[in-house]
Chain A
Amino acid sequence: MDSKRTLDERIGEWRSYLRRRQALRDVDVEELEDHLRTQVETLGEAGLDEDEAFLVAVKRMGDLDSLSREFALEYSERLWKQLVVSPEGGESSPVAANEAVVAVGLAVAAAIAIKMPELFGVHFRLDSTPDSQEDILFYVKNFSLFVLPFLAAYFGWKRGLERIHWAWQALPFLAGAVVINALPFEPEGYTQMLAAIHLPIALWLAAGFAYTGGRWRSHEHRMNCVRFTGEWFIYYSLLALGGGVFMGFTLFIFDAIGLNPGAFVEGWILPCGMVGAVLIGAWLVEAKQSVIENMAPVLTLVFTPLFTALLLVFVATMAWTGNPVKVQREVLIGFDLLLVVVLGLLLYTISARDPNSPRGFFDVLQFLLVACALLVDVLALWAIAARITEFGFSPNRTAALGLNLVLLVNLSWSAVLYGRFLVKQLPFAPLERWQTAYAPVYLVWVWVVVVVFPMVFGFQ
């Protein structure tokens, strides 16, 4: 009895080893397993004991690499990991089908929701006539409120969120709705624009609560949220691109017969597409999780060297020419964006890096990137700080400055940790944990801009 179990265990190991080869399907593995077992039995009858029989049988099966190469030649389409939304074999798992139904259902619900204001006379449109200004403003402020609750609901359902957590989840959405609509903002004011820009980020982080299934304190779950965001953004961009082509074609072919569907495209296809794609993108990211490599880290692999080179050249140029940094508002925002990009590259490299792999050239490159970005930023802040007291603290300037400082603190400590990692003082894990531990800072900052700024700056 005992050795039989060991044989099954061994065959189980062998089976999972085979399964990792993309060219072999489950049915192929079953066939090969049957062959293996028959071989083991025959050898057993010939007098070998089970261990020997297993070893000989596996050896006779052939070298695994050549085997999968042969299978790959046969089934070359398998090498492109197809995202088959219904698993092959014809029998689709009920869970996967369920998810698809819920995702599509919520996408439809969000599409209906975004068109609801039409009942109250608020239209979704893109032209800038005087009476459309109000409509556009309404949609700009509230767009995230029309779609992100549905995203949170999708994840709440998927993760099986408890009832008390649903209540907590609703809170930020309600607060956001009240703040952005009820506060007496000055029309055309900066605080309103800032709130409108920062609210979607705040609500995205709130939806992250549902994504983690309420386990927002866990480092791993926060990291997964980061990975999800990256992949979702890429999928959404691709869907948006496809949607753009779709709308272009709609306009074109109807124009060919003399009709102009512009109003329909602008008023229906565009908004419904924009919200629907959020849900569909989220569903696709989850569906492909175990099938396809994450794309965001691949992109960072490509762009990190480019940005590092850029910053090194920039620092060298600054030192060589001695040109001072221009002190204008856009410059500060520009450097904010630079820090955001660098942080993004760092974050997504971290999200994909195996913490046990040895220090390599890419790590050095990454460290240089962060160090240069910090240097550049500090110089820019130095130049601006002198003038900021002259111009005073306007909402825009304060927001840009605040964001800059928030990112600066993160990147500085990251640079320190990365440096210590490179000289072998620390393992990689502290760097990962710093990123996820710092996440609440962003959350707090974003809500400060949405709620506190208007009050402090008198809704200007």
Chain B
Amino acid sequence: MEIGKDLVAASATPLVLAILNEGESYGYAIIKRVGELSGGELQWTDGMLYPLLHRLERNDCVEAAWRKSETGRKRKYYRLTDEGMKQLARQQQQWDVVDSALRGIWLDAANAAPQPA
């Protein structure tokens, strides 16, 4: 299914924050998790994740550390900070508002829709 660019962009930040809330992670694993969560529908361009992560790092929402991965390569791991938690809570509130508004109207529309003959 084709998901609108703006929707993908808007949902990126809350998804990344929520995934990091589950625990420390790195770029590739985050993208894999997004794929799992969306049942394969959300296909992010791999490269686009990193500017987002750097922006979050710049705003102190996440903390980064270079560590040795299991393959022996250097890898950058990201961890949620307190500020990140607050930001996540804020995002959740905003999405709740939007979600209930949409759900409300779609439910009404579904109820009011004429039944196929």
Residues in A lying within 8 Å of B, measured CB to CB: 28, 30-32, 34-35, 37-39, 41, 60-63, 66-67, 70-71, 73-75
Encoded as 1 (CB less than 8 Å from any A CB) or 0, chain B from 5 to 27 comes to 00000000000000000000011
Docked-complex contact B45 and A34, CB < 8 angstroms: no
- Mostly, the A contact residues are helix
Binding site for A on B (CB under 8 A): 26-28, 45-48, 50-51, 54-55, 58, 69, 71, 73-76
Q: What residue of chain A has the Cβ atom nearest to residue B43's Cβ? A: A60
Q: Apart from A34-B26, A62-B47, A71-B51, list 18 A-B contacts with CB within 8 A.
A: A28-B50, A31-B50, A31-B76, A34-B27, A34-B75, A34-B76, A35-B28, A39-B28, A61-B46, A62-B45, A63-B45, A66-B48, A67-B47, A67-B48, A70-B48, A70-B51, A71-B50, A74-B58
Q: Is the CB of B55 within 8 A of A35?
A: no
B46–A62 CB distance below 8 A: yes
- Tell whether, in the assembled complex, residue A74 and residue B28 are in contact, meaning their CB atoms are under 8 Å apart: no
| A32-B50 contact, Cβ under 8 Å, with A60-B45, A62-B45, A74-B55 | yes
Report Cα–Cα, A70/B51, bound state, in Å. Answer: 6
Q: Which of B28, B51, B55, B73 has the most CB of A within 10 A?
A: B51
8 Å CB contact of B51 from A30, A34, A41, A73: A73
Q: Quick one: which of B46, B51, B74 contacts A35, CB cutoff 8 A?
A: B46
Most A Cβ at <10 Å: residue of B26, B47, B58, B69: B47
Closest chain B residue, CB of each to CB of A33: B73
Q: Is the CB of A35 within 8 A of B27?
A: yes
B76 to A, closest residue via Cβ: A31
A70 CA to B27 CA in the complex, in Å?
16
* Nearest 10 interchain pairs by C-beta: A62-B45, A62-B47, A67-B47, A70-B51, A38-B28, A61-B47, A74-B51, A61-B46, A60-B46, A31-B76
Partner of A34, one of B47, B48, B58, B74: B74
A70-B51, A71-B51, A73-B51 as given contacts; A39 in contact with B73, CB under 8 Å: no
CB distance from A198 to the nearest CB of B (A): 57
Query: Most chain-B Cβ atoms within 10 A of its Cβ — which of A31, A62, A71?
Result: A31
Complex interface: chain A residues within 8 A of B48 (CB): 62, 66-67, 70
